[in-house]
Amino acid sequence: MSASPARPVLAVASECAPLVKTGGLADVVGALPQALAAQGWAIRTLIPGFPRVMAALKKPKVAMALPDLLGVPARVLAAQVAGLDLLILDAPALYEREGSPYLDAAGHDWSDNDLRFAALGKAAALIAAGGIPGWRPELLHLHDWQAGFTPVYQKLLGATQPSLMTIHNIAFHGLTGAHRLTALKLPDEAFTLDVAEFYGHLSALKAGLTGATAINTVSPTYAQELCTPEFGMGLEGLIRARAADMSGILNGIDTQTWDPTADPLIAPFATPIAKAANTRALRAEFGLAPAEGPLAVVVSRLSDQKGLDLLLTALPALVGNGGQLAMLGSGDRRLENAWLAAAAAHPGKVAVRVGYDEALSHRIYAGADAVLVPSRFEPCGLTQMYGLRYGAVPVVARTGGLADTVIHANAAALAAGCATGIVHDPHSAEALAQALRQLCALWADRAVFRKIQKNAMKHPVGWQASAPLYAALYARLAALPQEPA
């Protein structure tokens, strides 16, 4: 009996690992196609033709010509890269810029970001409407605000496929002025409360949340948090109104790329004790002296969302108890400078690298005793999952996906032998300091700490549980009747 043919899905996103990445969104977009292939879904991913993407293409085919896409010439290219089936929106006037996909050299948003990503949504809608001969998706999977205008363009073009809008971080709305309706070729009704109007602006994210057939986010706890004013960022009423269409599915990580037993970027290991060579190498690379306490790490965007201002305040609780900190990250210049100053004030105990380096991040997790994620809010978080996988005990705030993935080392969990990390109250430097003191105390009892590390390394962090949930959601959406637009 022959297997059923894979069912086609169009994913729309601004990032996709390994081609272009600024955060966890890219990792998820890059990992989902393989995870869902085993469930019978064939995902083609539409991404912008940023320079790094274009440089990776080898003999792409022109899938669709777009001589006037919101006022600029463009085309959609088809290519296979790194095992991914990609559609690339090649529009040099919009994307042929060096540096960040979103920011100019001064760290400010590109002034035409609304047009750059509305064009991505328009191209997706044209594909949904049959723009690529011989291929038409059953449904669209839209990621974050950059894909948010897609349902509006679908309706204009009469493309009736269902769509799923995934919120990776509701803090970013993709706001622009109402006067941009004409430039974006959006109808006047888009600037209404029921579509995309948000306190006098157009919100690309809101357009996606009102227009998509279903909404999901990247952890069950974050799905609950989004219904509250504290986390909903002004959209909590809309989320509550669409509660029947809302779900939370926990992200996973690519366990082949992130495999401590076979990672070519580190000295491979299978047990916590075997991490020692990586720990020595990490200390040497960061200029840290041998220490009596744990080597904690941070790999993060530097922002107040990530709680790294709180960590500055709590830092004495770590270094004062023999611990050390190695940090890799970039972002807020104020925080970059503050952490560089902290490193200068604690030579041999605190070391900071400003920037991002994928290979170095592997070496950091491999050498770390603990990874710190003190976020004020965290939709899912992949950092703690990489830490779990590599035996770097997560010390995390009790929020979003952090709460869903780490088992706190309280007395009951330690007695049951199931603890995988330390969980503290968010928003509090003192709670974080107490968690760091607990980390150092656990480290002092090496047998207990090794047990926590072993638990962490065994904790499931891949897509085995989440992929079937996405597959079931896709199937439910694809089965819905497609009403005329």
Predicted local distance difference test score (pLDDT) of residue 1:
43
Structural tokens at position 382: 């992949």
Tell me if 436 sits within 8 A of 314, measured CB to CB. yes
Tell me if 213 sits within 8 A of 162, measured CB to CB. yes
User: In the chain, what is the straight-line distance between the N-terminal and C-terminal CA atoms, in Å?
Assistant: 38
Q: To the nearest whole number, what is the mean pLDDT of the chain? A: 96
Tell me if 366 sits within 8 A of 266, measured CB to CB. yes
238 vs 194: CA distance, rounded Å: 9
Mean pLDDT over residues 131-150, rounded? 98
Structural tokens at position 82: 């790194």
Predicted local distance difference test score (pLDDT) of residue 482:
73
The annotation places the binding site at 21
Strand 422-424 and strand 324-331: the pairing is unpaired
Tell me if 330 sits within 8 A of 107, measured CB to CB. no
251: nearest Cα among 481, 16, 422, 32: 32
Predicted local distance difference test score (pLDDT) of residue 247:
97
Predicted local distance difference test score (pLDDT) of residue 98:
87
Spell out the alpha helix ranges (H) of 259-370.
276-286, 308-319, 333-345, 358-367
55 vs 312: CA distance, rounded Å: 39
Predicted local distance difference test score (pLDDT) of residue 182:
97
Angle at 149 (CA atoms; ends 144, 154), nearest 5 degrees: 125
**H/E element holding 246?**
strand 246-248
Predicted local distance difference test score (pLDDT) of residue 24:
86
**Has residue 3 got a pLDDT over 70?**
no
- C-alpha torsion 341→345→349→354, nearest 10: 10
The annotation places the binding site for ADP-alpha-D-glucose at 21
Predicted local distance difference test score (pLDDT) of residue 483:
61
The reported pTM is 0.93
Mean pLDDT over residues 420-441, rounded? 98
Predicted local distance difference test score (pLDDT) of residue 476:
97
pLDDT single digits (tens) 253-288: 999 999 999 999 999 999 999 999 999 999 999 999
95: nearest Cα among 74, 77, 81: 74
**Has residue 225 got a pLDDT over 50?**
yes
**Has residue 335 got a pLDDT over 90?**
yes
Tell me if 305 sits within 8 A of 375, measured CB to CB. yes
266: nearest Cα among 395, 393, 358, 349: 358
Helix, strand or coil for residue 82?
coil
Q: Which residues contact 29 (CB under 8 A, 6 or more apart)?
A: 11, 13, 15, 16, 17, 45, 47, 143
Query: With pLDDT > 90 as the criterion, what percentage of the chain qualifies?
Result: 95
The strands making up 175-177's β-sheet, listed across from edge to edge, are 175-177, 201-203, 197-198
Domains of the chain: 7-252+464-478 (3.40.50.2000), 273-458 (3.40.50.2000)
Mean pLDDT over residues 213-232, rounded? 97
450 band by pLDDT with thresholds 50, 70 and 90:
very high
23 band by pLDDT with thresholds 50, 70 and 90:
confident
139 band by pLDDT with thresholds 50, 70 and 90:
very high
